[in-house]
Structure 1
Amino acid sequence: MTSKVVFNNVTRRFDLKNEPFLALDRFSLDIMDGEFVTVVGPSGCGKSTALNIAAGLMQPSEGEVLIDGMPVDGPGPERGVIFQQYALFPWLTVRQNVEFGLRIKGEPAARRREIAERFIDLVGLSDFADSLPKTLSGGMKQRCAIARAYAVDPTILLMDEPFGALDALTRVQLQDQLLETWSRERRTVMFITHDVDEAVYLANRVIIMAARPGRLKEIIDVDLPYPRTEEIRLSPEFMEIRNRVWHAVYHQ
């Protein structure tokens, strides 16, 4: 496998009330092409900062992030970013929201419609394609945001607590749907979460960050087969990995 996203000694400082604050300290990580990694760590350990730098929404103070060997110097269409807040345009329907990035890319109307319908169907929103976001549940809004990110054909998905605001049942359903979509599309995913069970259930590898300043503490391989199922979630093997991750995160 080849490296898709590479963090090379990434450091990020902020000035808070004229005091320097070190959010990331020489953070290095290789994410392989087609890999699903989750990132966990104590609050304030720099998880979102690392993701924002990879997204091109923030510049490092030192070091660099490489995408396919090229330095990141801003946002790019090869990276789809999904945040906890859905950030849908409230005046646009589900279909229009999903088509938005395609419109910016200059895709003709017929092609936009074709691509949008494919991904709307993929996330199970075909019956709501003409609905406005205000009529959708939280889970449906997040599925729409995922469809919009997929529609512009990114090779990388950067996801920052995308299911954090959802109820437990909806969260589990969207985890399964995300894995099903990933298994078909095999995009590279960097997924931030505070939920240890979610981190283990989704990932090929769990990246554990140390308490501030943000550093790489440990990488735990998740040697569990896909597709992931409820039986796997309840298995002794799952619980063993989950306990390793829990101990590494919360006993720092």
Structure 2
Amino acid sequence: MNPKISFRGVSCTFQLNGEVFQALDNFSLDVADGEFITVVGPSGCGKSTMMNVAAGLLEPTAGEVLVEGRAVHGPSPERGVIFQQYALFPWLTVRENVAFGLDIAKVPEPERRRIVDRCIDLVGLTRFADALPKMLSGGMKQRCAIARAYAVNPAILLMDEPFGALDALTRVTMQDQLLATWARDTRTVVFITHDVEEAVYLANRVIVMAARPGRLHQVIPVDLPYPRNEEMRLSARFMEIRNQVWNAVYHQTPAIAAQAPAA
């Protein structure tokens, strides 16, 4: 079967203060349909650039991204994007925020209400459907953003540090909530994070990127069964994979790599 997403030799360069800045260099990766991958790497290694190319928000300098064999040129409802910032409309209720994309698509009202109610229930916000964002916690706002992305029925979710601004306890809760949502309504997920434990806990595979310019450094399978739970975080196998990912990222950090002895 063809991959759901295929990065083929993607490179991105920019002009920065009069100099050429290369964010990605010949990045290639295939992502299967329904797979949940996480992407980690040193700060500035091109993780967000890679996601923006996949989202169609940025054109690569070289190479291409394919979705089901079709080249990506611009944004599409089939690719839902969730950023660290919640990007909710503060004057709209949860229900109205989730319905926003459906309103633009002119989905008929009865069908729109059915979809919105299902997505709000999917993320556990039914009791808060008529609340404004200012009445929600950070985790609830992010759940609303996830529901809004799900509402337009994307085949792919692209998530850039979505839990980065949350406190530790809320972050763990949101990880479990996201996996529960994914189990009930599977999508192909590309999830960027700086948190190694989060990367291992969520993913089928962890993608480790090399320091700038961003390249694929290592792909680490996560052979832990779903559903996952807190007990699994304490297992010997979880810690073994976590240490493998940590070491891969650690030795890609420029300041550390520069001090490492030659191989």
SS of residue matched to 2:149: helix
1:2 is displaced (CA, Å) by: 3.7
1:49 is displaced (CA, Å) by: 0.1
1:245 is displaced (CA, Å) by: 0.1
Contact preservation (8 Å) 2:99, 2:116? yes
Unaligned runs of 5+ in 2: 253-263
Which residue identity is paired with 1:10?
V
Which residue identity is paired with 2:66?
L
- How many Å separate the matches in 1 of 2:211 and 2:156? 26
Contact preservation (8 Å) 2:82, 2:160? yes
1:152-198 alpha-carbon deviations (Å, 9 max, x no partner): 00000000000000011111111001111111212100000000000
Q: TM-score, normalised by structure 1?
A: 0.99
Residue aligning to 2:258: none
Which residue identity is paired with 1:228?
R
Which residue identity is paired with 2:167?
D
- How many Å separate the matches in 2 of 1:61 and 1:88? 32
Which residue identity is paired with 2:71?
P
Which residue identity is paired with 2:62?
E
Q: How does 1:235-246 map to 2 (within 5 A)?
A: 235-246=235-246
- How many Å separate the matches in 1 of 2:251 and 2:207? 15
SS of residue matched to 2:117: helix
- How many Å separate the matches in 1 of 2:185 and 2:20? 42
**Identity rate, percent:** 73
Q: How does 1:203-242 map to 2 (within 5 A)?
A: 203-242=203-242
1:85-119 alpha-carbon deviations (Å, 9 max, x no partner): 00001111000000000111110111111110111
1:141 is displaced (CA, Å) by: 0.3
Q: TM-score, normalised by structure 2?
A: 0.95
Residue aligning to 1:39: 39
- How many Å separate the matches in 2 of 1:250 and 1:109? 51
SS of residue matched to 1:130: coil
Residue aligning to 1:65: 65
SS of residue matched to 1:22: strand
Runs of 4+ with >4 A deviation: none
Residue aligning to 2:175: 175
Contact preservation (8 Å) 2:161, 2:192? yes
Residue aligning to 1:54: 54
SS of residue matched to 2:115: helix
- How many Å separate the matches in 2 of 1:2 and 1:165? 35
Which residue identity is paired with 1:196?
V
- How many Å separate the matches in 2 of 1:185 and 1:7? 25
Residue aligning to 1:109: 109
- How many Å separate the matches in 2 of 1:65 and 1:102? 26
Residue aligning to 1:8: 8
Which residue identity is paired with 2:116?
A
Matched, 1:141 2:141: yes
| Paired residues, number | 252
1:32-57 alpha-carbon deviations (Å, 9 max, x no partner): 00000000000000000000000000
